[in-house]
Structure 1
Amino acid sequence: MFKTLAFSALPAALLAAFSPAHADEGQWQPHQLPQLKAELKRIGIAIPAEKLADLSKHPMSAIVSTDGCSASFVSPDGLVVTNHHCAYGAIQRNSTPEHNYIANGFLAKTRDAELPGGPNLQVYITDKVENVSARVLQGLDKLGGKARHEEAQKRIKALVAECETDKMYRCSVPSFHRGAEYYRIRQMQIRDVRLVYAPSDKIGNYGGDIDNYEWPRHTGDYSFLRAYVGKDGRPADPSPDNVPYKSKDFLVVSAEGLKNGDPILLAGYPGRTSRYKLPVEIRNARDSAYPLQAAEYQSDLDTIAAATKGDEAGVVRYASVVKSINNRMKKTLGLLDGFARKDLAAVKDGQDAEFRAWYAKQPGVSSAMLSELDAAIAADMALSDEEFAWNVATNSDLLKSARTLHRLALEKQKPDAERKAGYQQRDVSPIKARLSRLEQSFTLKVDQARYTDGLARYAKLAAKSHPQGLDALLPAVADVPALYAQSKLGATAERLALMDKDAAAIAASDDAFLKLAVKLHAVGLSLEERRMEVDGNLERVVPQYMAAVIAWKKSQGKPVYPDANSTLRVTYGTVSAYSPKDGLTKGPFTTVEGIVEKHTGKDPFIAPDNLIEAVKAKRYGQFKDPVLGTVPVNFLSSADTTGGNSGSAVMNKRGELIGLNFDSTYESITKDWYFDTAITRAIHLDIRYMLWVMKEVDHADNLLKEMTIKYPKK
């Protein structure tokens, strides 16, 4: 039996005691920042670390998330700034061929002209974080597999329910350090969010997918939203009677700018990193999972393009979907290129061998833990192959809706505490929002094409990846048109009405997609059951491994921070160029002149005429950089970021907003697995470009007046 011994104190003491290395690596939980005093002081951050750790104090109290992106308040009236691509769904939702806000931009000159962001756009304000590791993990040591996972989930659901007695909050209990710690996070959930201003995609998406992850970059990736609440100041469903949320704090916007070497702070909600994965997991991603995923993305994009050819309304409806898939695909391809450029598996081999040698010398440990770890990871990778195949075989929005409705009806038969997470009473509103949102990003013709092609691709996947029993239940490709002809789920009213039906009514329905969902349920449930078994074993052994890894890193004075998991994090760095190859240096700034240089008049390098005119006339105003002699557009920093950090506030040493994070350089994409200080660079929008466009191009004077802007001294 493996003895934890010195590693058993992980939640309480081990994470609190380390000596960070002199590097910009690390996506730190706010409560860890006081341990980084020396580092923050070294790079020139003037805000006390204790203040940065306090979620109730500026600037952290101004940092918010918006369903997969990061953002920040920039006025006392709930004005939020984030990336253009983070608000793309809301822009697309309100666009029509007659009023194409994607192509032409949108600006509400008055509050009553602001547009609804839609049911999927919400603002979350984190106000409380508690370590609940003991309440989740105590007494689970003797359990394994599904039993362990289910007991942990039962405790997590109880912790969430306890936290959500006040319905203004949305709570979660994510794991940290791959299951070694659990924190309960309380967030105010604002449900009425409106689109205030977005520049044309000729600015907000300049360069399009061609420039995605590339440097030099010239993208004005910003937009503005506003959070609304009821007249009592509490979150409320969207209503004309709602009023702007009174932000407790907001960021001062600084037009003073930065120069090479200046320190920056970045706060947001990074999605997922895999810094502590083993070499075998890297090889699986590199050689199998990522190539399959990239091919699937490209095939799906090709299908959508063919199905919407010559259909302007269809192109608009699927614009957000296409943008999202394109972004994921380019990141996946960048990861593959990064793995080819540098053998990260070999790097991890060296680290793993060093760790195992250190571990073998520790008193009271057994190699059984490492053997159990290897077995659990092998089972995880094998099951992941089947889950990928399942997703390919069910690539239809109508089928996904039918499966959601069927599962909801089944779960409603149980007491709320016993329902599967995602189908409890707290989840009914988000489910309704997803089912409603579909009408803005769906057509029967395109969905039918996606499902037809998905089934054909599934048939070509390795037979061992096909979930047992699935093949016999799937429709033949030739039968797909009949499915769509015999379903009413394309109508939003029909989908929403079915939310109130019980399991018997769903099972008795003659709707073709509901019938298919019922038929597929057993296979899907089997995958879920097996996933719980695999996750339970991982949740038992991986924390033991992580405790040992952290102790090993601590002995070397290396940084110890948890992988990103979509929770609030802070990173820091400096404005910095980089050298991707011998003899070539890139950055750290681009300027408006580069926009004109790239302008071809053909998509995606079409700049607005009035922007080009302003650049050629050198109307730089207060936004001219004294060193560059012009207006900067984007800049690079050494901050540690990943997906989910889009829209993150980039702040100067005083906590003033000087930029928005929106991307990484192509060479940096593998940072999700390994942080290379020499070439890892994040790409940020320089706030001076945003302000310049607002003044000189879009004349958003009402918003410029609303924000508190700190201009450079003359």
Structure 2
Amino acid sequence: MIKRNLISLFFISLFPLFSYADEGMWMLTDLKKQNEAAMLELGLMIPVQDIYNPDGISLKDAVVHFGRGCTGEVISAEGLVLTNHHCGYGNIQQLSSVEHDYLTDGFWAMSKSEELPCQGLSITYIDKILDITDYVTEQLSKDEDPNGTNYLSPTYLKKVANRFAQEQNIEQSASKVLELKPFYGANKYYLFIKTVYSDIRLVGAPPSSIGKFGADTDNWMWPRQTGDFSLFRIYADKEGKPAPYSKENVPLQVKKHLTINLAGINEGDFTFVMGFPGRNWRYMISDEVEERMQTTNFMRHHVREARQQVLMEQMLADPAVRIHYASKYAVSANYWKNAIGMNEGLVRLNVLKTKRDQQEQLLAKGNEAYQKAFDEIRSVVAQRREAVYHQQAIQEALVSGLDFMHFPSVDKFAAALKNKKKKQIKEETNKLTERTNEYFTTVPFPEVEKLVAKTMLKTYCQYIPEEQRISIFSVIDDRFGGDTDAFVDACFESSVFGSKENFDRFIQKPKLKWLEQDWMILLRQSITLGLYRTAGAMSEGDKTYNAAHKVWVKGMMDMKQEAGIPIYPDANSTLRLTYGKVRSYEPADGIVHEYYTTLKGVMEKEDPNNWEFVVPEKLKHLYKTKDYGRYAMKDGEMPVCFIVDTDNTGGNSGSPVFNAKGQLIGTGFDRNYEGLTGDIAFRPSSQRAACVDIRYTLFIIDKFAGASHIIDELTIVE
């Protein structure tokens, strides 16, 4: 026992990032065994079985995956879902127009008949979580694996999931989905059985002056005063089953919805959060952290910054442009600032040294397998650096940065022209015309696209040496004297996809040589080839890396377990739980950030000349009259946001924040700037998750929007 305690103390001294009980994005299946005692000690007042019960109904059954990258919580018996405003932003934007600008004005359905269908949006329940590591291991041992990558291959794992489902008589359909994922570097495997609903309707959203208050300036910062929430509803057929949108569908009668608590929060209160954190990389070695800083984060910072400057200028000048690009800009800006803050934090907190100390602790055990894995990871990282850097430049500047590059493929149409078969040409003409007409609706502002493209091509050239650039730049040098602006102008003037008029002229008398000489098509082919070549330069190393990473993670797991420290896998968009406390923090000497903010802070930040800090007149009136209803704090102030020290990351946006009794007290929406290193290294003294206080959410719905019928749906305790 003495020896084990000494090992644990020594481990903790070298692993300061892993020394707190409230660190971790825990698998729900492990809570009873690993976390219940710690959670009860910190203040949990309900049994863990009420949070996750594999054989019955629990809080887990009211937490849903919202869209592709956020979390939501079910807050009424009729399928009402609460999530963040920024999670619903893309759908609100799609439903908006200059005439009905729901981004600026907000939207509130005053009856269910007014709720708006959201095309392409889905909400997913996790029905069951099964640890089938032994089954997958058995399949891996008997199936052929010529490439040696089956243990990570999504295609192969899907086959294994289907095989398991057939053996266990598990239903599958378009709405009943199985997903098998590797965890801990593929040392464990979990199968998720899901139900997907596709008829989702917008119920309510505050104006962006509330839901996005502070915008880019306050993003990733604390203190915050944003009402970052929106409301949607799940619809199903009359039998309660998932179904495509239909006027005949009805609100889903759910098996579990959350109880809302209006008592408020205090410093030190126990909290826990459930959600779908996207990605983090806690098992990186120091070389990988440096690579992340110098490639991905570097490119996100500099390339996105250049693009956003162009977009913002155009968005401020034209309301229609603003509405069209609003969601795209917000998505870009979010991780632009994240990259900047992460790099600053990794340096400030000396994370590289901490990582090196961790490595030395494991390597000191003298295990040859760990040493070999470590050496192989370092070697791969060194060899792939140039390719990773270039690939990130292509991705940021020429793929994500150029919306007009997403025109339809012409490969089948070109093949039909080459074969000169009239029937085939006619069929492909109809298909290409339909897809192209849809494409032009996605790029309604060619002048903006040209401005962005000119900036992106220059930015790419700024960071990639001439001899390494993709092949189109040789053409630009030869045909346009190196003038990238002239090349972009030529694309829009002469390309088949440069304008609707160009396409219409082409499709009436199509010729193969026009496609073969088309500047836009040649640009996209060059981009594709560039991505292919950089991926090829990394492919062999990736295989080596994956195998080594699996061994390295196993070593880290074993060492933590030897020290008596619970383990958790990196985030991968699967349902997790984190826990901690409501807690203020000190970002620097002499500075204390309190754990909550109030409506007073909104008024103090108001700037009518800055779109980020405009305050609606009605909200100002409610503030002046102190018309807060039952949502005020005991001192009469209106709460807005609060912070907790739980371990969150992207994907936790919209996550329910629970009190010790399992009642909803807020909605997570962001992290603080000082905590952006958390994706790589968690430091509880400085990392916080920002949450919208549920009282502010209900205040906006009730007093600001006048949508008291929504309040009537909810289960509320005082």
TM-score, normalised via structure 2 length: 0.84
Q: Which residue of the other structure, out of 563, 568, 572, is the alignment partner of 2:570?
A: 563
* 1:400 and 2:402 matched: no
Distance 1:687 1:645 in 2: 16
**Amino acid across the alignment from 1:194:** R
The answer to whether the 8 A contact 2:404-2:443 is kept is: no
Call closer, same or farther: CA 1:315–1:101 in 2, change over 3 Å.
same
1:54-133 → structure 2 map (5 Å cutoff):
54=53, 57-66=57-66, 67-119=68-120, 121-133=121-133
Among 2, 25, 28, the residue aligned to 2:26: 28
> What amino acid is the match of 2:115?
E
Q: Cα–Cα, structure 1 residues 63 and 311, in superposed 2: closer, same or farther, change >3 Å?
A: same
Change (3 A) 1:532 1:467: farther
Contact kept? 1:146, 1:536, Cα under 8 Å: no
AA matched with 2:445: T
Is 1:450 aligned to 2:452, yes or no? yes
* Aligned twin of 2:362: 355
Which of 218, 231, 245 does residue 224 from structure 1 map onto? Answer: 231
Q: 1:487 aligns with which of 496, 499, 508?
A: 496
Q: Identify which of 322, 325, 347 aligns with 2:329.
A: 322
Q: CA deviation at 1:343?
A: 1.4
The offset of 1:621, in angstroms, is 2.2
The question of 1:685 aligning with 2:687 is answered no
Q: Against the structure 1 CA distance between its residues 199 and 168, is the aligned structure 2 distance closer, same or farther, given a 3 Å change threshold?
A: same
Pick closer, same or farther for the CA change 1:237–1:268 going to 2, 3 Å. same
Aligned partner letter, 2:462: K
Count of residue pairs brought into register by the alignment: 657
**In the alignment, residue 59 of structure 2 is paired with which amino acid?**
P
- The 3-state SS of whatever aligns with 1:641 is coil
Matched, 1:147 2:147: yes
Cα distance change of structure 1 residues 254 and 99 upon mapping to structure 2, 3 Å threshold? same
- Deviation of 1:233 after TM superposition, in Å, equals 2.6
> Secondary structure, in 3 states, of the residue corresponding to 2:45?
coil
Separation (CA, whole Å) in 1 of partners of 2:137 and 2:25: 24
* Counterparts of 1:145 and 1:367, CA distance in 2: 26
2:278 is aligned to 271
Q: Is the 8 A contact 2:380 2:545 kept in 1?
A: yes
**Maintained 8 Å contact 1:650/1:658:** yes
Corresponding residue for 2:9? none
Deviates more, 1:367-376 or 1:158-167: 158-167
Kept in 1, the 8 Å contact 2:151–2:186? The answer is: no
- 2:515·2:521 contact (CA, 8 Å) conserved in 1? no
Letter of the aligned partner of 1:390 in structure 2? I
Which residue identity is paired with 2:569? P
Question: C-alpha distance in 2, partners of 1:330/1:518?
Answer: 31
Counterpart secondary structure, 2:317: coil
Match of 1:616 in 2: 624
Q: Which range moves more in the overlay, 90-99 or 531-540?
A: 531-540
Specify the code of the residue in structure 1 equivalent to 2:72: A
CA deviation after TM superposition for structure 1 residue 573, in Å? 0.8
From 167, 179, 183, the equivalent of 2:190 is 183
Q: Is the 8 A contact 1:23 1:677 kept in 2?
A: no
Quote how far apart the aligned CAs of 1:219 are.
0.8
How far, CA to CA, are the matches of 1:406 and 1:466 in structure 2?
Answer: 27
Q: What is the letter of the counterpart of residue 54 of structure 1?
A: N
Post-superposition Cα deviations, 1:481-522, rounded to whole Å, max 9, x if no partner, equal 33334234877xx99xx9xxxxx9999788764565456555
CA distance in 2, matches of 1:27, 1:609: 41
Distance across 1 between alignment mates of 2:526 and 2:290: 36
In the alignment, is the contact (CA less than 8 A) between 2:586 and 2:592 conserved in 1?
yes
Is this contact kept in 1: 2:491–2:498, CA < 8 A?
no
1: CA distance between counterparts of 2:542 and 2:144? 9
- Residues 406, 518 of structure 1: 8 Å contact kept: no
Distance 1:138 1:594 in 2: 58
1:638 positional shift: 0.9
- Looking at structure 2, the residues matched to 542 and 448 of structure 1 have their Cα atoms a distance apart, in angstroms, of 43
Query: C-alpha offsets along residues 327-375 of structure 1, whole Å, 9 cap, x if unaligned?
Result: 1111111112212322111121222222211x31x5x757333222222
Q: What is the TM-score when the length of structure 1 is the normalising length?
A: 0.84
Deviation at 1:597, TM superposition (A): 2.1
- Show the 5 A alignment for 1:486-565: 486-488=495-497, 513-514=520-521, 516-518=523-525, 521-565=528-572
For 1:155 and 1:506, how far apart are their aligned partners in 2? 41
d(CA) in 1 for partners of 2:20 and 2:151? 41
**Aligned residue identity for 2:677:** T
Q: Distance in 2 between matches of 1:506 and 1:128?
A: 55
CA separation of 1:140/1:224 partners in 2, compared to 1, >3 Å: closer, same or farther?
A: same
Supply the AA of the counterpart residue of 1:76.
A
- CA–CA separation in structure 1 for the residues paired with 2:252 and 2:439: 24
Residue 296 of structure 1 aligns with an amino acid whose one-letter code is V
1:13 is matched with: none
Residue 531 (structure 1) shift: 4.7
User: Deviations 1:148-188 (Å, cap 9, x if unpaired)?
Assistant: 23675242231355568422123333322233223222321
Name 1:463's counterpart in structure 2: 465
Kept after mapping to 2: 8 A contact 1:651/1:659 = yes
CA distances 1:650-677 after superposition (whole Å, capped 9, x unpaired): 0111211110001111111111111112
Displacement of 1:633 in angstroms is 0.8
**Take 2:200 and 2:538, find their aligned partners in 1: how far apart are those partners?**
36
Q: Which one is further off, 207-216 or 681-690?
A: 207-216
Q: Is the 8 A contact 1:70 1:269 kept in 2?
A: yes
What 5-or-longer segments of structure 1 have no aligned partner?
1-19, 411-431, 499-503
SS in 2 for 1:260: coil
Instruction: Compute the displacement of 1:29 (Å).
Output: 0.9
Task: Tell me which moved more, 481-490 or 569-578.
Answer: 481-490
CA distance in 1, matches of 2:612, 2:280: 30
Counterpart pick for 1:599 among 603, 606, 620: 606
Task: Quote how far apart the aligned CAs of 1:75 are.
Answer: 1.1
| CA displacement 1:230-287 (0-9 Å, x = unmatched) | 3343222222222222222111121122211111110001111121111111222234
1:532 Cα offset (Å): 4.3
Measured after TM superposition, the shift of residue 558 of structure 1 is 2.8
Identity over aligned pairs, percent: 28
CA contact (8 A) 1:145 1:533 kept: no
Distance in 2 (alpha carbons) for counterparts of 1:27 and 1:116:
33
Native 8 Å contact 2:299 2:393 kept in 1: no
3-state SS of 1:668 partner: helix
Q: Give the letter aligned to residue 642 of structure 2.
A: F
Q: Is the 8 A contact 2:363 2:370 kept in 1?
A: no
Instruction: Assess, with a 3 A threshold, how the Cα gap between structure 1 residues 290 and 518 changes in structure 2: closer, same or farther.
Output: closer
- Judge conservation of contact 2:470–2:526 (CA < 8 Å) in 1: no
8 Å CA contact retained: 1:611, 1:697:
yes
CA contact (8 A) 1:473 1:519 kept: no
Whether contact under 8 Å (2:295, 2:388) holds in the other structure is no
Q: Distance in 2 between matches of 1:188 and 1:372?
A: 41
Any gaps of 5 or more consecutive residues in structure 2? 1-17, 166-170, 416-433
CA distance in 1, matches of 2:386, 2:558: 30
| Distance 1:524-1:283 versus aligned 2 partners, 3 A rule | closer
Cα 1:506–1:202 change in 2 (3 A) is: farther
Partner of 1:211: 218
For residue 137 of structure 1, report the CA deviation from its aligned partner: 5.2
Name the CA distance, whole Å, in 2 between partners of 1:466 and 1:304: 28
Taking structure 1 as reference, are residues 365 and 174 closer, same or farther at Cα in structure 2, changes over 3 Å only? closer
| Matching of residues 254-269 of structure 1 within 5 Å | 254-269=261-276
Q: How far is the alpha carbon of 1:228 from its aligned partner?
A: 1.6
From the CA coordinates, give the structure whose radius of gyration is larger: 2
Shift of 1:88: 0.7
Query: Does structure 1 residue 378 correspond to structure 2 residue 387?
Result: no
Q: How many Å apart are 1:101 and its aligned residue? A: 1.0
